[in-house]
Amino acid sequence: MNGPPRDWNERYRAGTTPWDSRIPSRELARVLAEETIPAGTALELGCGTGTNAIFLARSGFQVTGVDVSAVALSTARQLAAEAEVTIDFQLRDLSQPLTDLPRFDFVFDRGCYHCVRKINVSALLDNLARCTRPGSRMLVLTGNSHSEGEQGPPQLSEAELREDFGSLFQIDWIREFHFEDAGNIEGPLGWSTLLTRRS
């Protein structure tokens, strides 16, 4: 799932997108149900074809979805229109400084951070510092270094997650989960990390 930004359009055009399950993330739904996360403003990083942005909008959030792939965003806009929800989809590269985004109550990331961190983790964290405020929550779903084999998403250790996010965010918990892949099959083992922005 790595590569320079231009690769993402090629992957969406070719349909080599196993992560694009078109099923709202069960882990996201679990966390929203279990934790006290009110339906405020939400930013989805690397929203792809918008499945979870649409789910968040249907759950009452006011959603902005950003992605570096114009191809993915075109599908996302179409699917949001069909779902009759309003979402602000924006073509953005999170490995570059974004200085004009507002601050959000909730940030969701399913499979974007673990790619962008390999290119420019400090730019991504600077962007997160700018678009959150103390108390903002963030849920990050990433690959997991306990997975068997090297296929699938970039694999991180729990220590790497703590290292990347620990200064900007309080780490509420880190737990294992499984992604859903296209075809509703059980996808790779991942880490689910819930964060609260520090003061």
Residues in contact with ligand SAM by the rule CB under 6 A: 1, 5, 8, 19-20, 46-48, 51-52, 66-69, 72, 92-95, 110-112, 115-116
CB of 6 to ligand SAM, least distance (A): 10
Q: Please give the Cα distance from 198 to 116 (Å, whole number).
A: 22
Nearer to ligand SAM, 27 or 105 (CB): 27
Instruction: Give the integer Cα–Cα distance in Å for 50 and 157.
Output: 27
Q: Supply the minimum distance, in Å, between the C-beta of residue 185 and ligand SAM.
A: 15
Residue placing its CB nearer to ligand SAM in the complex, 13 or 133: 13
Count CA atoms closer than 13 A to 16's CA, side-chain side. 9
Q: Choose between 72 and 138: whose C-beta lies nearer to ligand SAM.
A: 72
CB nearer to ligand SAM: give 88 or 135: 88
CB of 153 to ligand SAM, least distance (A): 7
Residue number with the smallest Cβ distance to ligand SAM? 46
For 84, residues 6+ apart whose C-beta sits below 8 A from its C-beta are: none
Compute the least distance from the CB of residue 199 to ligand SAM, in Å: 27
Q: What is the 3-state secondary structure (H, E, C) of 56-83?
A: HHHCCCEEEEEECCHHHHHHHHHHHHHC
Give yes or no for a contact between 168 and 152, defined as CB atoms under 8 angstroms apart: no
Rounded Cα distance, 187 and 142, in Å:
12
Complex with ligand SAM: residue 13 or 198, whichever CB lies closer: 13
- Taking the complex as a whole, the smallest distance from the CB of residue 72 to ligand SAM amounts, in Å, to 5
